Structure 1
Amino acid sequence: MVVMVVVLVVLMVVVVVVVVVVLMVVVVVVMMMVVVLMVMVVVMVVVVVVVILVVVLMVMVVVMMVVVMVMVVVMVVVVMMMVMMVVLVVVTVVLRGNHILF
């Protein structure tokens, strides 16, 4: 009888210890999975933010280039119009002075 009780108690203790160890292992594994998932999510978010920033920078650079090109074209057109006006005035004055025009 005593031996049976001792064996039963030992078995119960062993079962409890095994269950506790298995639970601990499961909890640790779940925690590791959660941590890994969180790290993956953070990495994905960082990558997405970096990609968005790079795209915005590229768009800004392209817009700046377009603005600069438009400004250069406008400047060239204005300079050409001024030169044409000066040439017209000079030609008109010279021709009027020679009494060819008017």
Structure 2
Amino acid sequence: MMMIVMVVVEMVIVLVIVVIVVVVVMVVMMVLAMVMMAVMMVVNVMVVAMLLLMVVVVVVMVKVTVVVMVVT
């Protein structure tokens, strides 16, 4: 009788450990997905900011060249 109880207890413990591992893995995956989405959003914002900066720099350079050409 005791042997059966021990086997059942061991099986339950293994099941609990497996469930905990699966839950932890799922949570980690969700967190990683969230982090990836946040990183992608930040990267997108940074890319847009860089493009805007490049546009501003180009406009300023054009204005400066025009002013220099007019002055000279």
**TM-score (ref. length: structure 1):** 0.62
Identify the residue that residue 19 of structure 2 maps to in structure 1: 43
* Aligned pairs for 1:47-58 within 5 A: 47-58=23-34
Instruction: Report % sequence identity.
Output: 36
Offset at residue 58 of structure 1 (A): 1.5
The structure, 1 or 2, with the larger RCO (C-alpha pairs under 8 Å, 6+ apart) is: 1
Consecutive unaligned residues in structure 2, runs of 5 or more: none
**TM-score (ref. length: structure 2):** 0.83
Amino acid at match of 1:55: V
Q: RMSD of the TM alignment (CA)?
A: 1.5
2:47 to 65, 71, 94: 71
1:82 to 54, 58, 63: 58
2:10 corresponds to 1:34:
yes
> How many aligned positions are there?
72
Structure label with greater radius of gyration: 1
The alignment partner of 1:56 has SS state of: helix
